[in-house]
Amino acid sequence: MKKSVKIIAGIVVVAALAVIILPRLLRKEPPIEAQPAPNVTVSSPVIGDITLESGLIGTIEASDTVYVLPKTAGDIAEVLVKEGQAVTQGQALCRIDNSKQVDSARIQMDTALVSMQNAQASLNRMQVLYSTGDISAQAFEQTQLQAQSAALQYQAAKLAYDTQVEYGTVTAPISGTIESMNMEAHNTVSQSSQLCVITGEGGKKVTFSVPERIKNHISLGDRIRLEKQGTEYEAVITKMGNMISPASGLFDVEASVDKGDGLATGSTVKLYVVSDEADGAVTIPVDAVYYDGGDAYVYTCEGTTVHKVPVETGIFDSEKIEILSGIDMDDSIIITWTSELYEGAQVNPRTAEEAAAAAESQAQAAGIQDGADSQGAAADSQGAAADSQDAAADGAEAADETETSAQ
């Protein structure tokens, strides 16, 4: 009996295992679907120009700026103008008391006048004696020379006197506006004292300094951009220093500002100059270049096969980069990224136009599907509203039946 029970139990176990295992053995594995090749956008290199600009700080100045210094020393006797006043060329600015210099020059002039008169009188006497033969020609010529020398000395003394009188009044060398002034009555000034600064009636200029690297990329006549409080101006480089300034260690540059009357003299502006440029360079989109340990490379597409190509790069801006070597003009450069880019990978290359057309088609298809979904949702809403109306009608009918039964 026990043996029969064991046999029956064994049969049951085998049957259970068969039920579990056989379906797995007989089940067919689904076929492995091949993954489609990723879409990538390709483009050929383009010949173009790349220009890089550097931002600098410049100072606005008047095109004509004159620092007025006195030509003689003394005390300021009278100030005839004030700061901010417009003046004309030759207008008196102040008077300096240089009476001591004037008196000294007058004495020298008077002395020279007496000497000249004495020499002339002596020449007149010698003229009579020479005409009668009482003196030699040599003695007469010597007297003539003395008279001429005395006349020249008088002219020089008179010029010195007139100059001292003229220097007593300081005048404006140009027409313009007095920007700053440092003169008050009774102050003592010397020939090195700055009395005032006059800016001319012309335009404005901007002065700035550049390193040698930037200086090599700019030249006289180049146009630069200026920016002040959101307003842009243009300027033309008119002067470039050939020697490094000892103060800044840079090269000084000046540029004439177009329509810069609204810029205040002495204010600072942001300006942009060319710091580097590449003309007629082989360029590709800057995002198409990748780096591995500092070495640049790009992905190219030959047919549908990807190749990793090392390249040598030059300058670049926000959109394109200069390629110095590594690719040819007929190469197809992959300009979009996918994680499946590697040497030998298979891709589906498309031009930028083809990629744009595909994106537009997908957008249109999505729009049509959205419209269909909207219509379905509207139909569902209408059906739900109809069901609500039917439920309300049934409720009203049930209420009427209840009221009738109650009666």
pLDDT tens for the chain, 407 residues long, are 555 656 666 676 666 666 666 566 566 656 555 578 899 999 999 999 998 888 999 999 888 888 999 999 999 999 999 998 999 999 999 999 999 999 999 999 999 999 999 999 999 988 888 888 888 889 889 999 999 999 999 999 999 999 999 999 999 998 888 988 999 999 999 989 999 998 887 688 999 999 998 998 889 999 999 999 989 999 999 999 989 988 889 999 999 998 887 888 889 999 999 888 889 999 999 999 999 998 999 999 999 999 999 999 999 999 999 999 999 999 999 999 988 899 999 999 998 888 888 777 777 776 666 555 555 555 555 555 455 555 444 544 444 443 443 33
Secondary structure (H, E, C), 186-241: CCEECCCCCCEEEEECCCEEEEEEECHHHHCCCCCCCEEEEEECCEEEEEEEEEEC
Q: Report d(CA 19, CA 21) in Å as an integer.
A: 6
CATH number for the domain formed by residue range(s) 59-63+200-277 = 2.40.30.170
Topology classification of domain 70-96+169-199: OB fold (Dihydrolipoamide Acetyltransferase, E2P) (2.40.50)
d(CA 26, CA 100): 131
Q: How far apart are CA 206 and CA 235, in angstroms?
A: 8
CB 52 within 8 A of CB 317: yes
Whose structure tokens read 């009918």? 397
Angstrom distances, CA of residue 141 to CA of 145, 151, 185, 381? 6, 15, 55, 134
The candidate with the shortest Cα–Cα distance to 41, out of 364, 361, 347, 320, is: 347
Q: Which two tokens stand for residue 386?
A: 């109809």
**pLDDT at 407 (0 to 100):** 37
At 398, give phi and psi (nearest 5°): -65, -40
Radius of gyration of the chain (CA): 50
- Pair 333, 43: CB distance under 8 Å: yes
Q: What's the sign of the alpha-carbon dihedral 122, 123, 126, 128?
A: negative
Q: Which of 94, 99, 100 is nearest to 77 (CA)?
A: 94
Long-range contacts of 222-225 (CB under 8 A, 24+ apart): 222/273, 222/274, 224/255, 224/271, 224/272, 224/273, 225/53, 225/271, 225/272
| pLDDT of amino acid 370 | 58
What local confidence, expressed as pLDDT, does residue 310 receive?
96
DSSP 8-class letter at 407: -
CA-nearest of 167, 143, 4, 1 to 74 is 167
**d(Cα 386, Cα 139) in Å, to the nearest integer?**
147
State the pLDDT at residue 297.
96
| Spatial contact of 170 and 93, defined as CB atoms under 8 Å apart | yes
What pLDDT, on a 0 to 100 scale, did the predictor assign at position 323?
95
Judged by DSSP in three states, 172 sits in: coil
Q: Which pLDDT score, from 0 to 100, does residue 135 have?
A: 85
What are the φ and ψ backbone dihedral angles of 247, each rounded to 5 degrees? -75, -40
Positive or negative: CA dihedral 239, 244, 246, 250: positive
The topology under which CATH files domain 99-167 is Helix Hairpins (1.10.287)
What's 327's DSSP letter?
-
> In whole angstroms, what is the distance from residue 104 CA to residue 45 CA?
84
- Compute how many other C-beta atoms are within 10 angstroms of the C-beta atom of residue 62: 21
In the three-class reduction of DSSP (H, G, I as helix; E, B as strand; rest coil), residue 368 is classed as: helix
CATH architecture of 280-352: Beta Barrel (2.40)
**Three-state SS at 168:** coil
What residue spans define the domains of the chain?
59-63+200-277, 70-96+169-199, 99-167, 280-352
